[in-house]
Amino acid sequence: MSGNIELLSATLAKAKSEDRAALVAYLPAGFPTVDGGIEAIKAVIAGGADVVEVGLPHSDPVLDGAVIQTADDIALRGGVKIADVLRTVREAHAATGAPVLVMTYWNPIDRYGVERFATELAAAGGAGCILPDLPVQESALWREHAEKHGLATVFVVAPSSKDERLATITAAGSGFVYAASLMGVTGTRESVGNEAQELVRRTRATTELPVCVGLGVSNAVQAKEVAGFADGVIVGSAFVKLLLDAPDLPSGLAAVKALAGELAEGVRRG
């Protein structure tokens, strides 16, 4: 069975045709529970998210800030497994029709089996993987299986990436390019800054792929700012924090749906 890279590309193209940026939401699988995580994804899509990244919780999330680390810890203590991540993708996609990617560090896929993971992710209706710590020069095996199964391979670029390095990364990637707006870990920020706009400009000079910006966006004002220069706006920690702070799951679901609605207005640029 083939994965949904074409659905991902069509969704990003549709947003562009509407003269807006796509809203990409990140939520970890298994948080606050596996079922609760699936409901949270449905809620952000109902609120207006176009694409969802499902985080695969990891015991050493070096690129994630305190909010996502806390959620990952809750998921891991709850016993979340790769099978639960794949179930999350399957049920979220089946319920919404939206493109769903997995964001994961490389070690879990390597241990699970590259071909096995690609095969099962495609069978679950997944659109691809975001692989923040997989070096491009070591990615050939994954890319071979991803391409065979119709999955996107999304690499992360940072403000520190030199132009030649950007070209190497974007040539190897598919689906879109994840532009980290600043150096450091995930989390909400007071401002997104000029580094992100310059990184998008430099990245676009190397590729036709859409460029989506993440790290730091938490409200509609910031979403509008980023939508002015990027193809997609990625929001994670702000959604996760609402679920962490909520007194119960129904309150958390209502809060993330409402934030998705505000952000969806923000990315409409007008």
Give tens-digit pLDDT for 65-90. 788 889 999 999 999 999 999 999 99
pTM of the model: 0.94
Record the tokens describing residue 79, joined without a space.
Answer: 């016993």
Give the model's pLDDT for residue 189.
47
| In the chain, % of residues over pLDDT 90 | 82
Tell me the average pLDDT across 122-143.
Answer: 96
Tell me the average pLDDT across 117-127.
Answer: 98
pLDDT band for position 182 (cuts 50, 70, 90): low
pLDDT band for position 1 (cuts 50, 70, 90): low
Tell me the average pLDDT across 127-131.
Answer: 97
Three-state DSSP class for 25?
strand
The more confident residue out of 268 and 40 is 40
pLDDT tens-place string over residues 46-70: 999 999 999 999 887 666 778 888 9
Give the model's pLDDT for residue 264.
96
CA 185 to CA 145: how far, in whole Å? 29
Q: Is the pLDDT of residue 183 over 60?
A: no
CA 68 to CA 71: how far, in whole Å? 5
- Provide the mean pLDDT of the chain: 92
| Residue 59 identity (one-letter amino acid) | S
| Residue 56 identity (one-letter amino acid) | L
Tell me the average pLDDT across 178-200.
Answer: 69
CA 132 to CA 64: how far, in whole Å? 11
Q: Which residues touch 80 (CB under 8 Å, ≥6 apart)?
A: 29, 30, 31, 34, 57
Phi/psi for 232 (5° steps) reads: -150, 150
Q: Is the pLDDT of residue 190 over 70?
A: no
Determine if the peptide bond prior to 32 is cis (ω within 30°). Answer: yes
Give the model's pLDDT for residue 138.
96
Residues identified as active-site: 53, 64
Give the model's pLDDT for residue 192.
58
- Compute how many other C-beta atoms are within 10 angstroms of the C-beta atom of residue 140: 10
CA 139 to CA 120: how far, in whole Å? 19
CA 188 to CA 194: how far, in whole Å? 16
10 Å CB burial of residue 245 (0-12, 13-18, 19+) is exposed
Tell me the average pLDDT across 93-120.
Answer: 97
Helices 114-123 and 82-96, packing angle to 10 deg = 30
> Quick one: which of 40, 112, 31 has its CA closest to 69?
31
Phi/psi for 2 (5° steps) reads: -95, 145
Q: Which residues touch 16 (CB under 8 Å, ≥6 apart)?
A: 22, 210, 231
